[in-house]
Amino acid sequence: MRCKGCQAKATVEVRHHNAAYCNDCFQDYFLKRVQHNIRAYKMFSPGDRVLLVVSGGKDSLSLWDALIRLGYQVTALYIDLGIEGYSQRSGDKCREFAAKNGTSLGTISVKEVWGLSIPEIARKTRRTPCAVCGRIKRYLFNKCALEGSFPVVATGHNLDDEAASLLGNLLHWQTGYLARQQPNLPATHPKLVKKVKPLYTLTERECLAYALIRNIPYLAEDCPYAEGATSITYKEALNHIEAASPGTKLSFLKGFLKHKGLFREYDGEVELRECSRCGQVTTEEVCSVCRLLERAQKRSAAQQK
C-alpha cells in the first residue's frame, strides 16, 4: 500500500478514511485532524491557556504532544488517584514525558486532598471505584482550572470513548446525557470551566499509532478497575461493527452531533448554585463530592475508634 500523502510505502492504514500513510504523513494527518477539531468546535485559540488532564495513557500523552507541536499554551495536570501500583506507574509516564519535552506537570493527589484514595473512598461508601473516580476527577480538574484561571480544560477522550458513551446513552435512553454529549461543553456558570475533547474524531488505534511513531513513553496497561466496565463491552461491539463496515463509528458519532438538536428539550434548565461547603457548582445545597467525602470520612473515623 502507498502513502496517500507522498506515495512512499505506507505504514499506517486509516480504514475509515480509506487511506494509508507513511510515518511522516500520518503525523501530519493526525495534527491536522486535531487542529481541525479545535477550530471547528471553537474549543480554544492560540492565546488561551489550556489545562490538559493527562493520565499517562497513549491518548492524553499524544494530545499533549500534538498541542505542544501545534503551538498551543498547554499546561498538563495529572490527578493521582491513589490506585496501588497503577497510579505510581501512570504518574511516572507523565513525569517522563514532561522531562523529555522540557515542560512542567502539575499534580494533585486525591489522598493528599482528602486523606483517602479512590479505592478507599469507594470501599467506605460502597460504590464502584469508577463511579467515585469519574465524579472526583471532574470536580478536581474544574477546581484546579478555576484556581489557575484557565478558561478551558481539555481531555484525551477519543472517538472510541465518545462512540461507546453515545451507544450506552442511547441503549439506556439517557436523554439528559444525550442532550449534553458534545466535544465542546461550554461553561454554564462562572465557576464551571469549559471542557473540550480535541481527539473526538480520532480512534484509539490512531492515537496508538501516533504515540508509537512519536516515541511517546505511555503506560500500556489499563487501570485494574477498567476490567468488566460496560464501556468496554460497548467498545467491543462497536469494533465488531467497524471491522465489517469501516467508518461506522465516525458516522455514528458525527450523525448524532448533526442531529443533536432533537434532544435539546431534555437539556433541563437546572438551577445551578454554589456548594455551601466547598463553593463548587452543584444543583443542591451541598455538592455530591462533599457528601460522598463526608460519608467516607465518617466511616473511616468510626473504624479507627
Binding of ligand Q46 by 54 (CB under 6 A): no
Grid coordinates representing 47 are 492565546
Q: What is the smallest separation between the CB atom of 185 and ligand Q46, expressed in angstroms? A: 17
**Nearer Cβ to Zn ion (66/275):** 275
Q: Which of residues 174-233 bind ligand Q46 (CB under 6 A)?
A: 223, 225-226
Cα gap 145→152, rounded to integer Å: 7
Helix ranges (H only) for the chain are: 23-40, 58-69, 86-100, 110-114, 118-125, 129-147, 159-171, 175-180, 204-213, 230-244, 248-258, 288-304
**Nearer Cβ to ligand Q46 (14/166):** 166
**Nearer Cβ to Zn ion (222/294):** 294
Cα gap 65→177, rounded to integer Å: 30
Binding partner of residue 208 among ligand Q46, Zn ion, none, CB under 5 to 8 Å per kind? none
Q: What is the smallest separation between the CB atom of 188 and ligand Q46, expressed in angstroms? A: 24
Cα gap 266→188, rounded to integer Å: 16
Q: What is the smallest separation between the CB atom of 277 and Zn ion, expressed in angstroms? A: 5
Stretch that binds Zn ion, among 20-28, 44-52, 109-117, 289-297 (CB under 5 A): 289-297
Stretch that binds ligand Q46, among 18-26, 130-138, 188-196, 208-216 (CB under 6 A): 130-138
Instruction: Evaluate whether 277 touches 287 at the Cβ level (below 8 Å).
Output: yes
Binding of ligand Q46 by 133 (CB under 6 A): yes
Binding partner of residue 166 among ligand Q46, Zn ion, none, CB under 5 to 8 Å per kind? none
Quick note: the x/- pattern for Zn ion over 224-263, rule CB under 5 A, is: ----------------------------------------
Q: Residue 264 class from Cβ within 10 Å (0-12 exposed, 13-18 middle, 19+ buried)?
A: exposed
Q: Residue 201 class from Cβ within 10 Å (0-12 exposed, 13-18 middle, 19+ buried)?
A: buried
Binding of Zn ion by 212 (CB under 5 A): no
What is the residue whose three cell numbers read 450506552? 168
**Nearer Cβ to ligand Q46 (26/234):** 234
Instruction: Evaluate whether 78 touches 55 at the Cβ level (below 8 Å).
Output: yes
The three-state secondary structure class of 85 is: coil
Binding of ligand Q46 by 129 (CB under 6 A): yes
Binding partner of residue 70 among Zn ion, ligand Q46, none, CB under 5 to 8 Å per kind? none
String of DSSP letters for 234-252: HHHHHHHHHHHSTTHHHHH
Binding partner of residue 275 among Zn ion, ligand Q46, none, CB under 5 to 8 Å per kind? Zn ion
The three-state secondary structure class of 283 is: coil
Which residues bind to ligand Q46, rule: CB under 6 A?
A: 118, 129-130, 133-134, 223, 225-226
